[in-house]
Structure 1
Protein backbone atom coordinates (compact mmCIF):
# COMPACT_ATOMS: atom_id res chain seq x y z
CA UNK A 1 0.00 0.00 0.00
CA UNK A 2 1.02 3.60 -0.42
CA UNK A 3 3.15 4.67 2.48
CA UNK A 4 2.09 7.77 4.39
CA UNK A 5 5.77 8.60 4.65
CA UNK A 6 5.78 9.59 0.99
CA UNK A 7 5.18 13.29 0.63
CA UNK A 8 4.87 15.23 -2.57
CA UNK A 9 6.14 18.79 -2.56
CA UNK A 10 3.62 19.85 -5.17
CA UNK A 11 0.28 21.57 -4.88
CA UNK A 12 -2.37 18.88 -4.77
CA UNK A 13 -4.31 19.54 -7.93
CA UNK A 14 -5.92 16.37 -9.11
CA UNK A 15 -9.42 16.14 -10.42
CA UNK A 16 -11.90 13.54 -11.49
CA UNK A 17 -14.61 13.96 -14.02
CA UNK A 18 -18.15 13.86 -12.71
CA UNK A 19 -21.18 12.90 -14.76
CA UNK A 20 -24.72 13.76 -13.81
CA UNK A 21 -27.62 11.81 -15.25
CA UNK A 22 -28.97 13.90 -18.09
CA UNK A 23 -26.04 16.34 -18.03
CA UNK A 24 -22.93 16.60 -20.12
CA UNK A 25 -19.53 15.54 -18.85
CA UNK A 26 -17.97 18.31 -16.82
CA UNK A 27 -14.61 19.11 -18.31
CA UNK A 28 -12.74 22.27 -17.40
CA UNK A 29 -11.82 23.98 -20.60
CA UNK A 30 -9.28 23.97 -23.33
CA UNK A 31 -7.61 20.64 -22.73
CA UNK A 32 -6.29 21.57 -19.30
CA UNK A 33 -6.75 18.01 -18.02
CA UNK A 34 -4.68 14.97 -18.94
CA UNK A 35 -6.28 11.48 -18.95
CA UNK A 36 -4.95 8.96 -16.43
CA UNK A 37 -5.19 5.44 -17.83
CA UNK A 38 -4.48 2.03 -16.31
CA UNK A 39 -3.06 -0.53 -18.73
CA UNK A 40 -3.60 -4.10 -17.55
CA UNK A 41 -1.69 -7.14 -18.79
CA UNK A 42 -2.37 -10.84 -18.40
CA UNK A 43 0.51 -12.91 -17.15
CA UNK A 44 -1.09 -15.44 -19.38
CA UNK A 45 1.06 -18.52 -18.81
CA UNK A 46 -0.22 -18.83 -15.25
CA UNK A 47 -3.68 -17.42 -16.01
CA UNK A 48 -4.34 -20.48 -18.16
CA UNK A 49 -4.34 -22.48 -14.93
CA UNK A 50 -5.70 -20.04 -12.37
CA UNK A 51 -8.65 -18.65 -14.36
CA UNK A 52 -10.62 -21.82 -13.53
CA UNK A 53 -10.61 -20.84 -9.85
CA UNK A 54 -11.45 -17.21 -10.56
CA UNK A 55 -7.95 -15.87 -9.95
CA UNK A 56 -6.25 -13.73 -12.57
CA UNK A 57 -2.62 -12.72 -12.32
CA UNK A 58 -2.17 -9.22 -13.71
CA UNK A 59 0.54 -6.65 -14.23
CA UNK A 60 -0.43 -2.99 -14.56
CA UNK A 61 1.09 0.34 -15.51
CA UNK A 62 -0.21 3.90 -15.43
CA UNK A 63 -0.30 5.86 -18.66
CA UNK A 64 -0.12 9.64 -18.53
CA UNK A 65 1.35 12.08 -21.07
CA UNK A 66 1.94 9.22 -23.52
CA UNK A 67 4.29 7.40 -21.15
CA UNK A 68 3.48 4.28 -19.16
CA UNK A 69 5.01 3.95 -15.68
CA UNK A 70 5.21 0.60 -13.92
CA UNK A 71 7.06 -1.10 -11.07
CA UNK A 72 9.04 -4.29 -10.72
CA UNK A 73 11.49 -5.96 -8.38
CA UNK A 74 15.27 -6.17 -8.43
CA UNK A 75 18.02 -6.57 -5.84
CA UNK A 76 19.23 -2.97 -5.62
CA UNK A 77 18.27 -0.18 -3.15
CA UNK A 78 16.96 2.28 -5.73
CA UNK A 79 13.78 2.79 -7.68
CA UNK A 80 12.06 -0.13 -9.39
CA UNK A 81 9.82 2.19 -11.41
CA UNK A 82 10.42 2.08 -15.15
CA UNK A 83 8.92 3.52 -18.33
CA UNK A 84 7.65 1.85 -21.48
CA UNK A 85 5.71 2.88 -24.54
CA UNK A 86 2.02 2.59 -23.61
CA UNK A 87 0.52 -0.89 -24.06
CA UNK A 88 3.74 -2.31 -25.54
CA UNK A 89 3.65 -5.86 -24.19
CA UNK A 90 6.83 -6.77 -26.08
CA UNK A 91 8.84 -4.37 -23.91
CA UNK A 92 7.66 -6.27 -20.82
CA UNK A 93 8.49 -9.77 -22.03
CA UNK A 94 6.97 -12.87 -23.56
CA UNK A 95 4.85 -13.80 -20.54
CA UNK A 96 2.89 -10.53 -20.62
CA UNK A 97 -0.13 -10.00 -22.86
CA UNK A 98 -2.02 -6.72 -23.06
CA UNK A 99 -5.57 -7.14 -21.76
CA UNK A 100 -7.31 -3.76 -21.53
CA UNK A 101 -7.09 -0.05 -20.77
CA UNK A 102 -9.19 1.40 -17.94
CA UNK A 103 -9.85 5.12 -17.74
CA UNK A 104 -9.23 6.15 -14.12
CA UNK A 105 -9.68 9.92 -14.24
CA UNK A 106 -7.97 13.15 -15.19
CA UNK A 107 -5.09 15.12 -13.72
CA UNK A 108 -3.99 18.72 -14.12
CA UNK A 109 -0.46 18.02 -12.93
CA UNK A 110 1.99 19.02 -15.66
CA UNK A 111 4.28 16.49 -17.33
CA UNK A 112 7.18 17.87 -15.30
CA UNK A 113 5.16 17.46 -12.10
CA UNK A 114 4.43 13.84 -13.01
CA UNK A 115 8.12 13.08 -13.40
CA UNK A 116 8.83 14.63 -10.00
CA UNK A 117 6.07 12.52 -8.45
CA UNK A 118 7.54 9.37 -10.04
CA UNK A 119 10.96 10.24 -8.62
CA UNK A 120 9.44 10.70 -5.17
CA UNK A 121 7.51 7.44 -5.38
CA UNK A 122 10.74 5.68 -6.33
CA UNK A 123 11.93 6.14 -2.74
CA UNK A 124 9.10 3.88 -1.55
CA UNK A 125 8.85 1.60 -4.58
CA UNK A 126 12.48 0.51 -4.64
CA UNK A 127 13.48 -2.61 -6.50
CA UNK A 128 14.62 -4.35 -3.34
CA UNK A 129 11.30 -3.61 -1.62
CA UNK A 130 9.16 -5.42 -4.15
CA UNK A 131 6.81 -7.86 -2.44
CA UNK A 132 4.09 -9.81 -4.18
CA UNK A 133 1.65 -9.39 -1.31
CA UNK A 134 2.04 -5.80 -0.17
CA UNK A 135 4.31 -3.85 -2.54
CA UNK A 136 3.81 -5.02 -6.10
CA UNK A 137 3.24 -3.35 -9.48
CA UNK A 138 -0.49 -2.93 -8.82
CA UNK A 139 0.14 -1.30 -5.44
CA UNK A 140 2.34 1.20 -7.26
CA UNK A 141 -0.35 1.83 -9.88
CA UNK A 142 -2.93 2.48 -7.17
CA UNK A 143 -0.64 4.82 -5.24
CA UNK A 144 0.20 6.72 -8.41
CA UNK A 145 -3.39 7.16 -9.61
CA UNK A 146 -4.48 8.32 -6.14
CA UNK A 147 -1.95 11.13 -6.33
CA UNK A 148 -2.71 12.00 -9.94
CA UNK A 149 -6.51 12.01 -9.76
CA UNK A 150 -7.69 10.82 -6.35
CA UNK A 151 -8.89 7.44 -7.62
CA UNK A 152 -7.66 3.91 -6.87
CA UNK A 153 -7.41 1.11 -9.41
CA UNK A 154 -10.17 -1.56 -9.60
CA UNK A 155 -9.75 -4.20 -6.84
CA UNK A 156 -9.78 -7.17 -9.24
CA UNK A 157 -6.48 -6.05 -10.77
CA UNK A 158 -4.63 -6.81 -7.52
CA UNK A 159 -6.56 -9.87 -6.39
CA UNK A 160 -3.39 -11.97 -6.45
CA UNK A 161 -1.99 -9.94 -3.53
CA UNK A 162 -4.92 -10.97 -1.34
CA UNK A 163 -4.78 -14.56 -2.54
CA UNK A 164 -1.04 -14.81 -1.88
CA UNK A 165 -1.63 -14.10 1.81
CA UNK A 166 -3.19 -17.58 1.92
CA UNK A 167 -0.41 -19.13 -0.16
CA UNK A 168 2.79 -17.50 1.19
CA UNK A 169 5.13 -19.64 -0.91
CA UNK A 170 3.55 -18.43 -4.17
CA UNK A 171 6.09 -15.63 -4.74
CA UNK A 172 8.97 -18.13 -4.59
CA UNK A 173 7.25 -20.20 -7.27
CA UNK A 174 7.09 -17.36 -9.79
CA UNK A 175 9.90 -17.00 -12.34
CA UNK A 176 12.26 -14.11 -11.66
CA UNK A 177 11.39 -12.42 -14.96
CA UNK A 178 7.79 -12.02 -13.76
CA UNK A 179 9.02 -9.87 -10.89
CA UNK A 180 11.59 -8.02 -13.02
CA UNK A 181 10.05 -7.37 -16.45
CA UNK A 182 12.35 -7.17 -19.46
CA UNK A 183 12.01 -3.37 -19.72
CA UNK A 184 13.20 -3.01 -16.11
CA UNK A 185 16.09 -5.41 -16.76
CA UNK A 186 17.18 -3.17 -19.65
CA UNK A 187 17.00 -0.13 -17.36
CA UNK A 188 19.19 -1.89 -14.80
CA UNK A 189 21.73 -2.80 -17.47
CA UNK A 190 22.03 0.84 -18.54
CA UNK A 191 22.45 1.96 -14.92
CA UNK A 192 25.12 -0.67 -14.25
CA UNK A 193 26.96 0.27 -17.48
CA UNK A 194 26.99 3.94 -16.55
CA UNK A 195 28.31 3.16 -13.05
CA UNK A 196 31.08 0.88 -14.37
CA UNK A 197 32.31 3.39 -16.96
CA UNK A 198 35.33 5.37 -15.71
CA UNK A 199 34.63 9.04 -15.18
CA UNK A 200 36.23 11.43 -17.64
CA UNK A 201 38.58 13.92 -15.96
CA UNK A 202 37.93 17.58 -16.65
Structure 2
Protein backbone atom coordinates (compact mmCIF):
# COMPACT_ATOMS: atom_id res chain seq x y z
CA UNK A 1 0.00 0.00 0.00
CA UNK A 2 1.17 3.51 -0.85
CA UNK A 3 0.80 6.32 1.67
CA UNK A 4 -1.86 8.88 0.97
CA UNK A 5 -0.59 12.06 -0.67
CA UNK A 6 -2.46 14.05 1.95
CA UNK A 7 -0.47 12.43 4.75
CA UNK A 8 2.77 13.68 3.13
CA UNK A 9 1.68 17.31 3.12
CA UNK A 10 2.80 19.45 6.05
CA UNK A 11 -0.02 20.10 8.51
CA UNK A 12 -0.83 23.75 9.13
CA UNK A 13 -1.80 25.47 12.34
CA UNK A 14 -0.95 22.51 14.55
CA UNK A 15 0.38 23.89 17.80
CA UNK A 16 3.95 22.91 18.44
CA UNK A 17 4.72 21.46 21.85
CA UNK A 18 6.02 24.08 24.29
CA UNK A 19 9.69 24.49 25.06
CA UNK A 20 10.70 24.44 28.74
CA UNK A 21 9.61 27.65 30.45
CA UNK A 22 6.98 28.57 27.88
CA UNK A 23 3.41 29.36 28.93
CA UNK A 24 0.27 28.65 26.88
CA UNK A 25 -1.59 31.59 25.34
CA UNK A 26 -5.35 30.97 25.17
CA UNK A 27 -8.08 33.15 23.69
CA UNK A 28 -11.34 32.99 25.68
CA UNK A 29 -14.35 34.01 23.60
CA UNK A 30 -17.72 35.14 24.96
CA UNK A 31 -21.10 35.66 23.32
CA UNK A 32 -22.35 39.18 23.95
CA UNK A 33 -25.85 39.06 22.55
CA UNK A 34 -28.67 36.52 22.25
CA UNK A 35 -28.68 36.75 18.43
CA UNK A 36 -25.31 34.99 18.39
CA UNK A 37 -27.14 31.70 18.85
CA UNK A 38 -28.73 32.33 15.45
CA UNK A 39 -26.01 34.21 13.56
CA UNK A 40 -22.73 32.64 14.73
CA UNK A 41 -23.28 29.62 12.47
CA UNK A 42 -23.25 32.02 9.51
CA UNK A 43 -19.90 33.38 10.65
CA UNK A 44 -21.13 36.68 12.08
CA UNK A 45 -21.59 37.35 15.76
CA UNK A 46 -21.00 39.83 18.54
CA UNK A 47 -18.09 38.50 20.58
CA UNK A 48 -15.94 39.65 23.46
CA UNK A 49 -12.52 38.08 23.93
CA UNK A 50 -9.77 37.98 26.51
CA UNK A 51 -6.27 36.48 26.52
CA UNK A 52 -5.41 33.93 29.20
CA UNK A 53 -1.73 33.61 30.10
CA UNK A 54 0.01 32.73 33.41
CA UNK A 55 -3.32 32.12 35.16
CA UNK A 56 -4.88 35.52 34.41
CA UNK A 57 -7.18 36.73 31.66
CA UNK A 58 -6.65 40.19 30.16
CA UNK A 59 -9.28 42.10 28.20
CA UNK A 60 -10.14 45.63 27.08
CA UNK A 61 -13.18 47.86 27.55
CA UNK A 62 -14.15 51.49 27.26
CA UNK A 63 -14.54 54.33 29.73
CA UNK A 64 -14.32 58.14 29.45
CA UNK A 65 -10.83 58.55 30.95
CA UNK A 66 -7.38 58.96 29.36
CA UNK A 67 -5.81 55.88 30.93
CA UNK A 68 -5.79 52.16 30.23
CA UNK A 69 -8.98 50.25 29.52
CA UNK A 70 -7.18 46.92 29.95
CA UNK A 71 -8.34 44.87 32.94
CA UNK A 72 -7.71 41.48 34.53
CA UNK A 73 -10.25 38.78 35.44
CA UNK A 74 -10.28 35.15 36.52
CA UNK A 75 -10.09 33.10 33.30
CA UNK A 76 -13.47 32.20 31.76
CA UNK A 77 -15.43 33.84 34.61
CA UNK A 78 -18.33 35.43 32.72
CA UNK A 79 -19.80 36.71 36.02
CA UNK A 80 -16.87 39.14 36.33
CA UNK A 81 -17.79 40.57 32.91
CA UNK A 82 -21.53 41.03 33.42
CA UNK A 83 -24.87 39.41 32.73
CA UNK A 84 -24.81 40.07 28.96
CA UNK A 85 -21.68 37.87 28.54
CA UNK A 86 -21.77 34.10 28.04
CA UNK A 87 -18.59 32.04 27.76
CA UNK A 88 -18.48 30.37 24.33
CA UNK A 89 -15.11 28.64 23.88
CA UNK A 90 -11.36 28.71 24.40
CA UNK A 91 -8.96 28.76 21.45
CA UNK A 92 -5.33 27.74 21.92
CA UNK A 93 -3.22 30.39 20.17
CA UNK A 94 0.33 29.30 20.98
CA UNK A 95 3.04 29.59 23.62
CA UNK A 96 5.01 32.53 24.95
CA UNK A 97 8.49 32.93 26.40
CA UNK A 98 7.35 35.96 28.42
CA UNK A 99 7.44 35.52 32.20
CA UNK A 100 4.46 36.63 34.29
CA UNK A 101 6.28 39.86 35.20
CA UNK A 102 7.09 40.54 31.53
CA UNK A 103 3.45 39.91 30.59
CA UNK A 104 2.34 42.52 33.14
CA UNK A 105 4.84 45.02 31.72
CA UNK A 106 3.55 44.27 28.21
CA UNK A 107 -0.05 44.80 29.41
CA UNK A 108 1.01 48.15 30.86
CA UNK A 109 2.58 49.18 27.54
CA UNK A 110 -0.45 48.07 25.53
CA UNK A 111 -2.63 50.04 27.95
CA UNK A 112 -1.12 53.25 26.54
CA UNK A 113 -2.55 52.37 23.12
CA UNK A 114 -5.75 50.76 24.42
CA UNK A 115 -6.94 53.59 26.65
CA UNK A 116 -10.52 53.63 27.90
CA UNK A 117 -11.33 56.84 26.04
CA UNK A 118 -10.09 55.35 22.76
CA UNK A 119 -12.42 52.35 22.81
CA UNK A 120 -14.57 52.05 19.70
CA UNK A 121 -16.92 49.14 19.02
CA UNK A 122 -15.82 48.82 15.40
CA UNK A 123 -12.34 50.33 15.12
CA UNK A 124 -10.62 49.71 18.46
CA UNK A 125 -12.46 47.09 20.50
CA UNK A 126 -11.64 44.19 22.83
CA UNK A 127 -10.85 41.91 19.89
CA UNK A 128 -8.39 44.41 18.43
CA UNK A 129 -6.67 44.34 21.83
CA UNK A 130 -6.53 40.53 22.03
CA UNK A 131 -5.16 40.44 18.48
CA UNK A 132 -2.35 42.87 19.35
CA UNK A 133 -1.65 41.06 22.63
CA UNK A 134 -1.43 37.60 21.01
CA UNK A 135 0.84 38.92 18.26
CA UNK A 136 3.15 40.41 20.89
CA UNK A 137 3.11 37.28 23.07
CA UNK A 138 3.59 34.56 20.47
CA UNK A 139 3.48 36.12 16.98
CA UNK A 140 0.10 34.50 16.21
CA UNK A 141 -3.19 36.29 15.56
CA UNK A 142 -6.67 35.50 16.83
CA UNK A 143 -9.11 33.71 14.48
CA UNK A 144 -10.72 36.11 11.99
CA UNK A 145 -14.29 35.10 12.93
CA UNK A 146 -13.90 36.59 16.43
CA UNK A 147 -13.82 40.17 15.10
CA UNK A 148 -15.62 39.69 11.77
CA UNK A 149 -18.49 41.97 12.85
CA UNK A 150 -16.09 44.94 13.04
CA UNK A 151 -15.02 44.34 9.44
CA UNK A 152 -18.59 43.76 8.22
CA UNK A 153 -19.74 46.98 9.90
CA UNK A 154 -17.59 49.07 7.57
CA UNK A 155 -20.10 48.07 4.87
CA UNK A 156 -23.12 48.59 7.14
CA UNK A 157 -22.53 51.95 8.92
CA UNK A 158 -25.75 51.95 10.98
CA UNK A 159 -24.79 48.67 12.70
CA UNK A 160 -22.78 50.34 15.48
CA UNK A 161 -25.80 52.40 16.56
CA UNK A 162 -27.74 49.16 17.09
CA UNK A 163 -25.35 47.81 19.74
CA UNK A 164 -26.00 48.57 23.43
CA UNK A 165 -23.56 51.05 25.01
CA UNK A 166 -23.28 49.05 28.26
CA UNK A 167 -21.00 46.60 26.43
CA UNK A 168 -18.32 49.26 26.48
CA UNK A 169 -17.55 48.86 30.18
CA UNK A 170 -17.76 45.28 31.51
CA UNK A 171 -18.45 44.86 35.23
CA UNK A 172 -14.83 43.95 36.07
CA UNK A 173 -13.64 47.15 34.40
CA UNK A 174 -16.23 49.18 36.35
CA UNK A 175 -14.77 47.72 39.58
CA UNK A 176 -11.25 48.55 38.36
CA UNK A 177 -12.32 52.15 37.66
CA UNK A 178 -13.87 52.46 41.12
CA UNK A 179 -10.64 51.19 42.72
CA UNK A 180 -8.60 53.61 40.58
CA UNK A 181 -10.87 56.48 41.64
CA UNK A 182 -10.48 55.57 45.33
CA UNK A 183 -6.68 55.34 45.06
CA UNK A 184 -6.52 58.69 43.21
CA UNK A 185 -8.59 60.58 45.79
CA UNK A 186 -6.42 62.09 48.51
CA UNK A 187 -7.38 60.95 52.00
CA UNK A 188 -8.22 63.60 54.65
CA UNK A 189 -4.92 62.91 56.43
CA UNK A 190 -2.83 63.17 53.27
CA UNK A 191 -2.11 66.70 52.05
CA UNK A 192 -3.21 67.28 48.46
CA UNK A 193 -0.53 68.36 45.95
CA UNK A 194 -1.85 71.95 46.06
CA UNK A 195 -1.77 72.21 49.87
CA UNK A 196 1.14 74.40 51.04
CA UNK A 197 3.60 72.59 53.32
Interval of TM-score (by shorter of Structure 1 and Structure 2):
0.7 to 0.9
Q: Find the structure with the greater CA-based Rg.
A: 2
Unaligned runs of 5+ in 2: 1-9, 192-197
More RCO (CA 8 Å, sep 6+): 1
Contact 1:72–1:81 (CA under 8 A) maintained in structure 2: yes
Match of 2:140 in 1: 151
Question: Hey, what does 1:182 align to over in structure 2?
Answer: 171
For 2:155, the equivalent position in structure 1 comes to 166
1:66 aligns with: 55
Q: Contact 1:132 / 1:164 at 8 angstroms: preserved in 2?
A: no
Q: Which moved more, 1:143-152 or 1:162-171?
A: 162-171
**RMSD of aligned alpha carbons:** 2.1
Alpha-carbon distance in structure 2 between the residues aligned to 1:52 and 1:102: 17
Instruction: Decide whether the 8 Å contact of 1:71 with 1:82 is kept in 2.
Output: yes
Query: Which residue of 71, 82, 94 corresponds with 1:105?
Result: 94
Aligned pair count reads 179
Q: If the length of structure 1 is used for normalisation, what is the TM-score?
A: 0.81
Shift of 1:51: 4.2
What's the counterpart of residue 47 of structure 1? Answer: 36
1:94 aligns with 2:89: no
1:76 and 2:90 matched: no
Provide structure 1 residue ranges, at least 5 long, that are not aligned to the other structure: 1-19
* TM-score, scaled relative to structure 2: 0.83
